[in-house]
Amino acid sequence: MDYFPFFFDLRQQPVLVVGGGQIALRKVRLLAQAGAVIRLVSPNCLPELEQLIAASGGRWQKKVFEPVDLEACCLVISATDNAAVNENVSALCKARYLPVNVVDNPALCSIITPAIIDRSPIVVAISSAGAAPVLARKLKQRLEILLPQQYGKFAAFCGTLRDKVKQALPEHQRRYFWEKLIAGPVENLVYQDKEEAAQQWVTASLSKAKAANAIGEVYLVGAGPGAPDLLTLRALQLMQQCDVVLYDRLVSEPIMERVRRDADRIYVGKRRAEHAVEQAAINQMLVDLAKEGKRVLRLKGGDPFIFGRGGEEIELLAANNIPFEVVPGITAASGCAAYAGIPLTHRDHAQSVRFITGHLKANDTNILWPELVADDQTLVFYMSLQGLPAICEALITHGKAPSTPAALIEKGTTPEQNTYTGTLASLPLIAKNSAIQAPTLLIIGGVVGLQPALQWYRR
């Protein structure tokens, strides 16, 4: 993030503008709309600019800029075509920690002005950090079409309800109410000036909300193999409406950035033989949080029902009559194989796929190796890094050819993805010499032999 976005309350606040031409005029128009009291310093001033300044309650000082002009102002806009003046204003402001904007010169700015969509009290600001202002304006044009002109009217109506809703509902129920209001018929009623009908809807909905059961709900959501653009649409929707999120170490930071900003976050990550929170405790935590009336997001790497213990979690939810929803995610086998250029099935190599883990409940590793040695199938081992030598040795011992192609995929679908290929006989040594880090996925079978040709076509 190059700039931290703020909305600046300039109502009746003193703002200094340096410059009196067309560049200054564009900025002063916006400042006047925001209610600022504008003081302008410039030897010359356009008539329209002078009128705007007078209307704001400010004044024009007909002179060149001096450091003393920076006194008694909360914001400075330098809008001249004189580079030396702009640089001087910028340096003096930064030395005083005074916010300064030098028009069309981001390097001299401590703040920048975005492209604005005004549906007051709703205001949308779009910035490219000065890198591509035309692109920002194009995005503004697209959003202008999506936001009705009357959107501000609806927002103002919602503002009149805030105290009423706050008094009627406890905190954890308010957002649910607002979501229903925004999705309901009230918006159109406001646009049609049917405020009495809108108020009746609000009163009836508040009564229902107060009488409703306060129990929350749980969402078991698959976060996919790592890349945030592989999240499902439903996953993103629930990530934006949760009150609290329980997440593990396989959920990447770029994915966590898509969770609602003010949601509480609880890390329950698990590594091999190292559990931040035991599974039984996680299960109970989901129940307890839901009973507090919260919307609980259980965010899991991959898919919740493929080695994600989702089944164990919903058993306890069902036993406690907690409403829940399961959202599938792209499992690591599909995501990592696709990004590595390895088809899991192929008419010439594999007619079936096996998903296998060496981490079963109670550390039971009773894998039926004789079933895994057939040549017409693809084997996918999850959580395979530590057990790689033992897996390859067991398959060879039970009759699988040592020359069988095998691949170990590190941090699949992320920018740090690496794919190591070899055979059952050679891959353990390759991995040992490569300092590979979890998470990894092991793929074994004839399809791996296609990877050198197909990897170049990966996006």
What is the third-level CATH fold of 333-457?
A: 3.30.950
**The predicted structure's pLDDT at residue 410:** 95
In this chain, the answer to whether the domains covering 14-113 and 333-457 adopt an identical fold is no
Helix (H, G, I), strand (E, B) or coil at 239: helix
3-state DSSP of 131-195: CCHHHHHHHHHHHHHHCCCCHHHHHHHHHHHHHHHHHHCCHHHHHHHHHHHHHCCHHHHHHCCCH
Between CA 151 and CA 157 the distance in angstroms is 10
Between CA 125 and CA 116 the distance in angstroms is 5
Between CA 307 and CA 359 the distance in angstroms is 9
Tell which CATH classification among 3.40.50.150, 2.40.50.140, 3.40.50.720, 3.40.50.80 matches the domain 14-113. 3.40.50.720
Cβ neighbours of residue 228 under 8 Å, at least 6 residues apart? 252, 254, 255, 257, 258
Beta carbons within 10 angstroms of residue 198's beta carbon: 23
**How many helices (DSSP H) and strands (DSSP E) are in the chain?**
16, 19
Beta bridge partners of 107: none
Chunk the chain into consecutive blocks of 10 residues (it has 459) and report each block's average pLDDT, rounded to whole numbers: 86 96 93 95 94 95 95 95 95 96 92 88 88 88 88 92 90 82 89 92 86 80 94 95 92 93 88 70 95 92 92 94 95 94 93 81 66 94 91 94 96 93 96 91 95 67
Domain boundaries, the chain: 14-113, 151-211, 217-330, 333-457
pTM above 0.75, yes or no: no
**The predicted structure's pLDDT at residue 262:** 86
Between CA 424 and CA 108 the distance in angstroms is 59
CATH of region 217-330: 3.40.1010.10
- Read off φ and ψ for residue 151, nearest 5 degrees: -60, -35
Which residues belong to the active site?
248, 270
**The predicted structure's pLDDT at residue 148:** 85
Beta carbons within 10 angstroms of residue 334's beta carbon: 21
Q: Residue 328 is encoded by which pair of tokens?
A: 């599938």
Cβ contact 99:15 at 8 Å: no
Between CA 112 and CA 127 the distance in angstroms is 8
**The predicted structure's pLDDT at residue 272:** 55
**The predicted structure's pLDDT at residue 3:** 83
Cβ contact 72:14 at 8 Å: yes
Q: Report the relative pairing of strands 244-247 and 217-222 from DSSP bridges.
A: unpaired
